[in-house]
């Protein structure tokens, strides 16, 4: 593989094999780092010859879905080992990308790196769109010192990213996510994500973002389908706060008992992420479990003083009322 990498000038190689035994077929695939020979990802797929075309589609979808997050992780690790004075805009973006997905508490640090990347290259679309994402996370997480200003920055970064996007599915989808929090037309933003998924149907984060926008648009069941699709496409690599979003979708559908088992592991996954605490408190309050609701509020206040954030992007006002009434019960305030 090292020789292949040198001769073809490539850093990664996807290889595989097909074997047949009787009426069964097995397809294997491996993604390999040619500089080290290390396996980044490997999997196998078994099926019958009668279903070979369905099996072929499954392999194509799985491989395409896993390669993007696997390469991000590999490139992030490569970037982290470089001296600080050799960092390019791409290096800065990769570091920030990993930080913001690993912990909500690191979003401010990630934004600082992205702003450095944008200074180096003002039309660098991935850095622009991820800066938009970080700005809206500061607002929604309750970590912004100036929510109105950070909201305007998020919109500006997202629109500049779209100008540079071309047909990049990641930029289209992430820009739609950032803009959805600041009063943009939700139908046109869903259309933007649909365009991203048409360009890459195996884009796991695209399905994740589509699910979130469907929640804002009062389509919780479609949202859950899309969020679960993102988990199937990328079961290992973190592509976003998917469990929290599924819990959110169940909440707005008033399925509180189904929301709780999604929100609890979402908190375990990232204890610094405020959103699942808020929904957990509201769920418990509507279920009559007020002691549990108060405990969730206490844990929330340990990471942010903001119980109710500045940006509330639901297009259905009843969802806002349901959420606020739950939080007010959890805080012991009158509705």
Please, what are the averages of pLDDT over each run of 10 residues along the chain (335 residues)?
A: 80 86 86 83 83 78 72 61 52 88 91 94 91 94 90 94 86 94 86 92 92 96 96 77 95 97 94 95 97 96 89 87 95 73
pTM for this entry: 0.78
Is domain 2-64 given the CATH code 3.40.50.10070 in the classification?
yes
State residue 236's pLDDT score: 67
Decide if 171 contacts 165 (C-beta within 8 A).
Answer: yes
What is the number of residues in the chain?
335
* All CATH 3.40.50.10070 domain ranges in the chain, comma separated: 2-64
Q: Given the structure tokens 């696997």, which residue do they identify?
A: 70
Name the pairing type of β-strands 24-33 and 39-48. antiparallel
State residue 194's pLDDT score: 96
Measured in degrees and rounded to the nearest 5, phi and psi for residue 184 equal -75, 160
The closest of 157, 153, 131, 135 to 144, measured between CA atoms, is 135
The closest of 252, 250, 274 to 261, measured between CA atoms, is 250
What the block records as the tokens of 232 is 């199937």
User: Is the backbone of residue 193 left (phi > 0), alpha (psi -120 to 50) or beta?
Assistant: alpha
Query: How big is the chain by its Cα radius of gyration, in Å?
Result: 21
13: part of which helix (H) or strand (E)? Answer: strand 12-21
State residue 221's pLDDT score: 97
State residue 86's pLDDT score: 33
d(CA 219, CA 235): 24
CATH of domain 234-335: 1.25.40.10
3-state secondary structure 204-243: HHHHHHHHHHHHHCCCHHHHHHHHHHHHHHCCCCCCCCHH
State residue 279's pLDDT score: 97
d(CA 204, CA 142): 27
* All CATH 1.25.40.10 domain ranges in the chain, comma separated: 234-335
Q: Given the structure tokens 């699709």, which residue do they identify?
A: 229
The three-point CA angle 52-58-59 to 5° equals 90
State residue 191's pLDDT score: 95
State residue 158's pLDDT score: 95
Contacting residues for 38 by C-beta, under 8 A, at least 6 apart? 32
State residue 84's pLDDT score: 32
Mean pLDDT score of the chain = 87
What the block records as the tokens of 196 is 């991203």
The closest of 40, 42, 35 to 5, measured between CA atoms, is 35
- CA dihedral defined by 177, 178, 184, 189, rounded to 10 degrees? -30
45: part of which helix (H) or strand (E)? Answer: strand 39-48
Decide if 131 contacts 111 (C-beta within 8 A).
Answer: yes
State residue 70's pLDDT score: 67
State residue 53's pLDDT score: 75
């Amino acid at each position: 593989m090292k020789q292949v990498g040198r001769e073809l000038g490539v850093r990664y190689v996807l290889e595989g094999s097909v074997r047949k035994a009787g009426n069964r077929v097995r397809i294997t695939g491996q993604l390999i780092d040619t500089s080290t020979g290390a396996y980044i990802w490997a999997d196998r797929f078994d099926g019958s010859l009668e279903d070979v075309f369905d099996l072929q589609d499954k392999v194509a979808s799985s491989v395409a879905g896993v390669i993007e997050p696997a390469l991000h992780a590999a490139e992030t690790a490569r970037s982290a080992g470089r001296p600080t004075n050799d960092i390019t805009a791409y290096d800065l973006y990769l570091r920030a990308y990993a930080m913001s997905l690993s912990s909500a508490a690191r979003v401010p640090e990630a934004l600082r790196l992205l702003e450095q990347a944008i200074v180096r290259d003002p039309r660098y679309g991935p850095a622009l769109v991820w800066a938009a994402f970080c700005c809206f996370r500061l607002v929604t997480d309750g970590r912004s010192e100036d929510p109105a200003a950070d909201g305007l920055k998020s919109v500006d970064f997202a629109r500049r990213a779209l100008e540079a996007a071309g047909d990049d599915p990641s930029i289209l989808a992430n820009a739609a996510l950032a803009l959805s929090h600041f009063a943009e037309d939700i139908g046109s933003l869903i259309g933007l994500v649909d365009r991203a998924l048409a360009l890459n149907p195996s884009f796991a984060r695209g399905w994740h973002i589509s699910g979130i926008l469907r929640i804002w648009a009062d389509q919780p069941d479609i949202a859950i389908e899309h969020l679960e699709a993102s988990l199937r496409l990328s079961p290992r690599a973190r592509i976003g706060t998917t469990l929290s979003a599924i819990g959110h979708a169940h909440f707005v559908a008033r399925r509180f008992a189904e929301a709780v088992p999604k929100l609890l592991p979402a908190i375990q996954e990232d204890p610094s992420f405020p959103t699942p605490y808020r929904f957990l408190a509201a769920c418990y309050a509507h279920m009559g479990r007020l002691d549990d609701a108060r405990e969730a509020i206490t844990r929330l206040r340990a990471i942010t003083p903001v119980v109710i954030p500045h940006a509330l992007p639901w297009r259905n006002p009843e969802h806002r009322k349901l959420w606020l009434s739950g939080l007010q019960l959890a805080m012991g305030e009158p509705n």
